[in-house]
Amino acid sequence: MKEVNSFLDYIKYEKRYSENTVLGYSNDLEQFFLFSSDRFGDTDLSQINRSMVRSWIVHLVQNNAAPSTVRRKVSSLQSFFKFLRKKNIVAHNPTNALQLPKKGEKVPTFIKMGEMHQVLEGVQDIHEDTEYNSVLEKAILYVLYGTGMRRGEIINLKLSDFKSYENSLSVIGKGNKQRLIPLSDELTSIINYYITRRSLIEIKCNEQFLFLTSSGAKLYPGFVHRTIKKYLGNEVHAEKISPHTLRHTFASHLSQNGADLNAIKSLLGHSSLSSTQVYTHHSIEGLKKIYSASHPKSD
């Protein structure tokens, strides 16, 4: 559908959304139009109404889609129709004033501090490694936990984003927003050592990117995911292990150690403080324990 392609080009090139975000919008829209065609037959965009969208929502709920998933999919459809209204392709937005499933507050999956420390202690000193893949994998593990960046962000890091002299990384996040993440001396040393090993491999292309596979190619999502599963899969107790688990772990450990919520927001690159507030759960739980143990009227 040409209108969908135009919309995807708009969010990719004008809004500068990430490839993963654009793919998510594409999948959501494809699912809706497949459902609409199957349920209502071939329908012109101008004929799609609120009742059709409501039927899709019911279909998603009946197929056990989580409330957050339903809300995201409808949001994708809403953005698409806003785009169509702006271009005067349709006269109304059928997603307006829809009742959506309530989004329950979900505490992100994270790794306990003691378990994370054990994993890092169990990984031999990165400076002793001679195999390039080992150096690369351990650098990925340390960087994700030490910065809280997203998988797509570490994949797209450039050599020029690393400022060794000032212990920092410049990261381009969602919405093409740039943020500066401070690094510990240890993490700066790990990245520097990785770069010395990187200089010994044959770089076929993408030489501007910081992290490259042993074949000299740019990292890709599956490589990062497998790396995290390799080092954490059998070592920690968590519902889900993925690169994003380390992002949650980074934020949760900062919160547990008393970091200011606005500082965590800046480090994660959140546009709204409400996105960061979920990590205060862990601080509150810690305060409850202190209160129960210390306050004379806590019983």
Q: Which residues does 54 contact at the CB level (< 8 Å), separation at least 6? A: 98
Of the residues 247, 248, 265, 282, only one is catalytic, namely 247
Catalytic annotation on 244? yes
Is 117 in the active site? no
Residue 274 CB burial class (10 angstroms; 0-12, 13-18, ≥19): exposed
Answer positive or negative: Cα dihedral of 129, 133, 139, 145. negative
Name the active-site residue from 198, 248, 270, 282: 270
For 182, 238, 254, 259, 286, the CA distances from 262, given in Å and listed in that order, are: 15, 27, 11, 9, 19
Catalytic annotation, pick one of 73, 198, 279, 282: 279
- C-alpha distances (whole Å) from 222 to each of 2, 6, 213 are 30, 29, 12
**Rounded distance between C-alpha atoms, residue 29 and residue 11, angstroms:** 14
Q: In this structure, what token pair is assigned to residue 121?
A: 């202690």
Structure tokens at 257: 């150690």
150 counts as catalytic: yes
- In angstroms, the first-to-last Cα distance of the chain is 64
Eight-class DSSP state of 93: -
Which one of 16, 112, 174, 179 is the catalytic residue? 174
| 204 given a catalytic annotation | no
- Among residues 16, 72, 244, 281, which one is catalytic? 244
Query: Which pair of tokens denotes residue 127?
Result: 């400076």
Which listed residue (73, 138, 150, 197) is catalytic?
Answer: 150
Is 102 an annotated catalytic residue? no
Is 225 an annotated catalytic residue? Answer: no
- Name the residues annotated as catalytic: 150, 174, 244, 247, 270, 279
